[in-house]
Structure 1
Amino acid sequence: MLSEQSAATVRATLPVVGGAIGEITERFYARLFAARPELLRDLFNRGNQAAGTQRQALAGSIAAFATHLVDHPDQRPDAMLSRIAHKHASLGVAPEQYALVHEHLFAAIAEVLGEAVTPEVAAAWDEVYWLMANALTAIEKRLYEESGGAGWRSWEVVERVEETEDVATFRVRPADGGPVPDFRAGQYVSVQVELADGARQIRQYSLSAAPGSPLRQFSVKRVRGEAGPDGEVSGHLHARVRPGDRLDLSAPYGDLVLAGTEAPLLLASAGIGVTPMVAILGELADAGHEGPVLVVHGDRSPGAHALRADHEAYAGKLADATVHFWYETGADPAEASHRAGLVDLAEVTVPEGTQAYLCGPLPFMRAVRAQLLGKGVAAADIHYEVFGPDLWLAQAG
């Protein structure tokens, strides 16, 4: 993939570029939004930009991709690229936007590194960028073809369910009366709303019911700012959206989907990460799945456990399901599935050959992944979904 000459240059300069990548991405976004302010208003998540998490995610993905190229020159990091491409497709990213990113990213690199960016260095990193950009463009093109094209469709809210104090489920149907395309359990949709200042902000929410319904269902946790502002879109949906209102949704995307294997399954979630897991469990229950399924969830309390009734009901329909719910407070010792404290798999039997699917806060997923690796689960068999910028890569190592 990467030419030998460029690989040698990238390998030699990776420590310098990697060490400065945070400053480079900060300069990049400043340049990009100065040139195209509408992108911050209508495409990029303003909360993530303010918190700096989007910069961390971009820096992590570039560094991870470059490192993979020099360490494995004949392989492509398909799992990483797939996750990014699905997110881009859900936002409607177009091929020409990669040229715009290239322009401002390489200007930022030159600003930060100065004379260290020789023509040879610039050419090598240019090759890295376009290998990544072209790979993403090809995946996104396929995703658009499969979903019927990029764009937004208007959906009418037909029901709203208050799951917990901070989680609401919205059930929607196409406003045009047309058919509801199918999706794969574990996928998400982008929801675009117009806020009070005219910005059209976009967020992704997992579909929280099994495929096959004439309605789309997604569940939204209201983001209450602890270290920053409250969530703009989640706050808008909770405060303002009721049955009869309309929302713009993307087609379903996301690659946290079952691989179609008969291997034992582990579905581990925490907090609002329960949403894709409930959809997957519903799909398994509808299909009469007979293989072993280990269901793991962690939450603050039983009352904070969104979709708990569905979580329990779908697991109860399976022929061979084992359920463990950990609660920081309020665990009922009379309930066989309840555990007190944080998720801990030390005393849980994980069958050989398990395929694991994780969704929840990053510290939770990292802890569970480490426990699974310690139990002999192969790294390639541990799949995950991150809500928001993918900081897994930014904090890799």
Structure 2
Amino acid sequence: MVQRRTGFAVSWQTLSPILGIFRVQPAAGGRFPDYEAGQYIALRREDCALTRRVTGADGRTRYVPDVDASGRQRRGPVSHAYSISSAPYETAQEGFLEFYVVRETDEDGRPGRLTESLFRIEPGKDDEIVYFDRIAGDFTLAKRAAGFPHVLMVASGSGLAPFVSMIKQLHFEAGRGPGDPARYTLLHGNRTAEELAYHRDLETIAAAGRLDFTYLATVSRPASSGHDPSLGRGRVSNVLRLLLGLPLKEEEDLEAAAEKGEGVETACGPRCRRAAAATHCGSASLPPGRW
């Protein structure tokens, strides 16, 4: 039977107001279950801002603050499963689990119930985290990629967590004996360079050459100055489209709008630039009078 156990956040790294990395250690005498890279564990905090489900007149379901008679939002326990970003060997050697999380918000801008509490963690103060002593999930290389010669991983934001666990574990195992013969490619995207979690770690692993690993990182909001030339510019989904020889999402949307006659092109600038824009629109078969 799965039991609740007590752990403590021993470190917290803020990458941005909405992204963080933290480590959890079990209470004295405890240890985490063994696991495979790519799996998850359920965490819980006891002081989360609670919500309740309501159905609007339009039939849509949404969540609103659960308030008491005085209008104060109730607080209580909330549990959620998170992918583990530490590698199994790190947990075996040092005893911690690491997590890479995003501060979720709903459509009204309210923070997620558990992540709101997680982002208030202060190691050494407000740091208690309950965990359930079962690690599960079949998003593992053994279940998803066994026998394939090339494994392509595409990660955006905190979706990197299971992949970084896998790559770190593969790198570790390759240093202890014959490495995995498969070729691994990781496309990693986020908004800014600061939000590219584990970027330097992954670059180091790729440079070490223990396994056939290619790491491509890209940012959708590159810095106006001082941009790292090793980083791509654009969404990771468009990098994938480029590698597969597919049109970019923006190009696809423009073509779809042109076919439906829904688009209108406007231009402002020097005459030569306006003329060039008109030429491009004509090449794209936008109907006359729509540009």
- TM band (smaller chain): 0.5 to 0.7
Query: What is the CA-CA distance between 1:241 and the residue it aligns to?
Result: 4.2
Query: What is the CA-CA distance between 1:155 and the residue it aligns to?
Result: 1.0
- Counterpart of 2:76 (choices 199, 223, 246) is 199
Which consecutive residues of structure 2, in runs of 5 or more, have no partner in the other structure? Answer: 49-73, 175-179, 250-291
Higher percent of residues as helix: 1
Query: What is the CA-CA distance between 1:191 and the residue it aligns to?
Result: 0.9
CA contact (8 A) 1:207 1:218 kept: yes
- Counterpart of 1:232 (choices 113, 116, 126) is 113
Q: Which residue of 1 aligns with 2:204?
A: 313
Work out whether 1:219 is the aligned partner of 2:100: yes
Q: Runs of 4+ in structure 1 displaced over 6 angstroms? A: none
Q: Distance in 2 between matches of 1:198 and 1:292?
A: 48
Q: Which residue of 1 aligns with 2:124?
A: 243
Change (3 A) 1:253 1:315: farther
Which consecutive residues of structure 1, in runs of 5 or more, have no partner in the other structure? Answer: 1-148, 351-363, 365-397
Q: How does 1:52-67 map to 2 (within 5 A)?
A: none
**SS of alignment partner, residue 312 of structure 1:** helix
Amino acid at match of 2:166: I
CA contact (8 A) 1:326 1:343 kept: no
Query: What is the CA-CA distance between 1:183 and the residue it aligns to?
Result: 0.9
Q: Distance in 1 between matches of 2:123 and 2:201?
A: 22
Q: How does 1:345-360 map to 2 (within 5 A)?
A: 345-348=240-243
Q: Which residue of 1 aligns with 2:257?
A: none
Q: Distance in 2 between matches of 1:257 and 1:295?
A: 15
Q: Which residue of 1 aligns with 2:232?
A: 338
TM-score normalized by structure 2? 0.62
Change (3 A) 1:230 1:310: same
Q: Which residue of 2 aligns with 1:256?
A: 139
- Counterpart of 2:194 (choices 293, 298, 303) is 303
Q: Distance in 2 between matches of 1:266 and 1:221?
A: 23
**SS of alignment partner, residue 326 of structure 1:** strand
Q: Which residue of 2 aligns with 1:141?
A: none
Query: What is the CA-CA distance between 1:225 and the residue it aligns to?
Result: 3.8
Work out whether 1:280 is the aligned partner of 2:175: no
Structure with the greater alpha carbon radius of gyration: 2
Amino acid at match of 1:252: I
Query: What is the CA-CA distance between 1:304 and the residue it aligns to?
Result: 2.1
TM-score normalized by structure 1? 0.46
**SS of alignment partner, residue 215 of structure 2:** strand
Work out whether 1:326 is the aligned partner of 2:210: no
Taking only aligned residues, the RMSD between alpha carbons, in angstroms, comes to 2.7
Sequence identity (%): 25
Query: What is the CA-CA distance between 1:290 and the residue it aligns to?
Result: 4.0
Residues 99-145 of structure 1: CA deviation (Å, up to 9, x unaligned): xxxxxxxxxxxxxxxxxxxxxxxxxxxxxxxxxxxxxxxxxxxxxxx
Change (3 A) 1:343 1:324: farther
Query: What is the CA-CA distance between 1:193 and the residue it aligns to?
Result: 1.1
Query: What is the CA-CA distance between 1:323 and the residue it aligns to?
Result: 2.1
Q: Distance in 2 between matches of 1:179 and 1:157?
A: 14
Q: Distance in 1 between matches of 2:16 and 2:185?
A: 25
Change (3 A) 1:258 1:226: same
Query: What is the CA-CA distance between 1:228 and the residue it aligns to?
Result: 4.6
Q: Distance in 2 between matches of 1:316 and 1:266?
A: 18
Q: Distance in 1 between matches of 2:76 and 2:228?
A: 48
Work out whether 1:178 is the aligned partner of 2:30: yes
Amino acid at match of 1:249: Y
Query: What is the CA-CA distance between 1:226 and the residue it aligns to?
Result: 4.4
Q: Distance in 2 between matches of 1:295 and 1:316?
A: 14
Amino acid at match of 2:129: L
Amino acid at match of 1:301: T
**SS of alignment partner, residue 180 of structure 1:** coil
Query: What is the CA-CA distance between 1:237 and the residue it aligns to?
Result: 1.0
Higher percent of residues as strand: 2
Query: What is the CA-CA distance between 1:266 and the residue it aligns to?
Result: 1.1
Alignment: residue pair count? 203
CA contact (8 A) 1:158 1:173 kept: yes
Q: How does 1:136-147 map to 2 (within 5 A)?
A: none
CA contact (8 A) 2:170 2:211 kept: no
CA contact (8 A) 2:190 2:220 kept: yes
CA contact (8 A) 1:295 1:315 kept: no
